[in-house]
Amino acid sequence: MKGKRTKKSGQSPYFVGYKKHTLRLWLRIKGKNRLVPLVSFVEPANVYEGNFLCPMIRNTQKDLSLHIDIVVADMGYISSDHKKELRNQFQTAVITKVRENMLAPEEYIDHGCPECPEGVPLTWDGYDPETETHRYIASTDHAACRLCRLQGSCYQEVCISPQIDEHRFGIIPLHTMVSQRLLQQIRPQVERGFENDKNKLSLNRFFANSLKMAKIIGHLADACQLLLLFAEMKTKTKAKAKRMMKEVNTQLSLDL
């Protein structure tokens, strides 16, 4: 099956085969970032990847009793309908970048958030799942507010609905520092998990000509990643960890 992939220098945006979609848990262990595979789907490359996000969250909650608060995803998952479904059913925030042609609502185009009558951006104060609204308040320490002609008569808060733009005003609005840090620091590490599958486990050497075989290899790859992580966590020194990982990798290289 022919599908599209992330644009990379020197590579065609299209490929033929199957695609692995994995929900990974981001953990900070011993000062290092770790990506733990939770659930994976392996499907033909031309199947829309956004359709797997809701089943991933549902299966994780059902099978592992683990609630996913935040998902940082690439733009293959940029669907307002899916983001709304996850927000309503699971209280899960899905954070993605937006395409250049996806303009913000006109009233929020300058700062990406509500403003006071004088054009000063308001501060996000949280999302209320019961009313499905964001609360924005006037900053008490903004320099412009202390000298403002409307001081004392300006409204102190504004509530808006995520439905005006699910991409920019999901559970965690896109303009906030939290969202921006997640996109800048966590999102680039997502590709590293798939690179480990291809390089460390030698999956780039395989040619799977059946969907069943591709699914078996994909799930074995997740099991190998977990075993490699456990092996490293059990060791006491960096050198010993590397040696242990090399030994485990040799035994579990999927050299079928």
In the predicted structure, residue 94 carries a pLDDT above the cut 60:
yes
What is the C-alpha separation between 203 and 196, in angstroms, rounded?
Answer: 9
Residue 255: pLDDT band with limits 50, 70, 90: very low
In the predicted structure, residue 108 carries a pLDDT above the cut 90:
no
pLDDT, residue 238, reads 55
> Residues 111-136: what's their mean pLDDT?
88
Cβ atoms within 10 Å, residue 235: 14
The pLDDT > 70 percentage for the chain reads 79
CATH class of the domain comprising 2-101+174-251:
alpha beta
Three-state DSSP state, 198: helix
Contact, 36 vs 226, CB < 8 A?
yes
Buried b (16+ CB within 10 A) or exposed e, 114-145: bebeeebbbbbeebeeeeebbbbebeeeeeeb
15-24 tens-digit pLDDT: 567 888 899 9
In the predicted structure, residue 104 carries a pLDDT above the cut 70:
yes
In the predicted structure, residue 236 carries a pLDDT above the cut 70:
no
pLDDT, residue 103, reads 86
Phi, psi of 81 (to 5 degrees): -65, -45
* Domain residue extents for the chain: 2-101+174-251, 106-164
> Residues 161-171: what's their mean pLDDT?
94
In the chain, which ranges are E strands?
Answer: 2-4, 14-16, 18-29, 32-44, 70-72, 93-95, 123-128, 133-137, 157-160
9-53 tens-digit pLDDT: 545 555 567 888 899 998 877 777 788 899 999 998 888 888 999
Tokens of 35: 């990506």
